[in-house]
Amino acid sequence: MSRIAPHDHSRRFFKVVVCLERRPDGGLRAWSDDVPEFVLSHRNVDALLADIKPALDIILSAKFGDNILAEPLVDWRNALEESGIIEKRAELPLSWEYVAHYAQA
C-alpha cells in the first residue's frame, strides 16, 4: 500500500486491485500487489469469492489502525460467468478493483 499513507484521513477512498488465478485443481487463488498480506486460495470458487471482502476488511483495518471496509466495484460471480471463467478454463490472472474506505463510526 505504498500509494496510501496510513492514517491519512484526507483520502477517504482508495483502490485495491485483487487478482485471480486458476489453480491446477480447478479452484482459484486471489492476491493483491496493493495488499501483500492478502492471499486466498480455495478449490470452491464461491467460497473464495465470499472470503475476499472480509479478508480485505480485516487486513486493511489492522494495517491502518481504523475500521476500513472494502467493497467490490463489480459483482465477481457475474463477471466470472460472463467471462466464461467458471464454465470453461480461461486464461488467468484477471483482476478487479475494490474501493476501500473508512467506515462511519
Domain ranges of the chain: 13-102
Q: Does domain 13-102 have CATH number 3.30.450?
A: no
- pTM of the prediction? 0.71
User: Mean pLDDT throughout 27-32?
Assistant: 92
Residue 49 has pLDDT above 60, yes or no: yes
How far apart are the C-alpha atoms of 57 and 68, rounded to whole Å?
6
How far apart are the C-alpha atoms of 90 and 62, rounded to whole Å?
34
- What's the pLDDT at 103? 79
Between 63 and 12, the higher pLDDT residue: 63
How far apart are the C-alpha atoms of 42 and 1, rounded to whole Å?
24
Residue 30 has pLDDT above 90, yes or no: yes
